[in-house]
Structure 1
Amino acid sequence: MPRHTALPPTLAPRLIGREAAAAYCAVSASFFDTLVDKGLMPAPKLIGDKRRAWDVRALDLAIDRLPVDGEATQADDTWADVDSHAA
């Protein structure tokens, strides 16, 4: 990832490229592409006509939503019976 000399060393870039986004998520670039295609990771932001970059904040939110190993991943049906009463 190229270092932007205009940024102070303590300020990380908000938008990062594909390779950096994959590394940020601890996966390969090709697997990161799969996660994006499946909607588990966000789509990139467009900068101009062709440049794409990922927002680190959006990556953080997507990472927070990933399942935790060993936890049940079934849907929460707490409110499933709210509309079940006959009128």
Structure 2
Amino acid sequence: ENETIRDRIEKILNKVKTFTNRKRQELHQSIDSGYDLSQVNDLILTLTERKCDQQIIRSLEKKQEDILQDLLNLKNETTKTIENLD
């Protein structure tokens, strides 16, 4: 009976470990490349070279900064949650 309980505990813990590893990997993949964020700087530079209105460019840069901050906050929150589960 104790062995059955222990097996059940280990099974639950293994599921949580698998979950945390998968979420950690998904988080890194999505932030690194999943949303083509690396292209934003190049596209803003293209607008700058084409003499686009500076207010528009600044607005886009501000949106980019806000989004990057949101992603960083999400990453930090997720990392803390995963660490607590580990």
Question: Which of the two has greater strand per residue?
Answer: 1
TM-score normalised according to structure 2 size = 0.24
> Which structure features the higher share of helix residues?
2
Greater RCO, 1 or 2 (C-alpha within 8 Å, sep 6+): 2
- Structure 1 or 2, whichever has the larger Rg, is 2
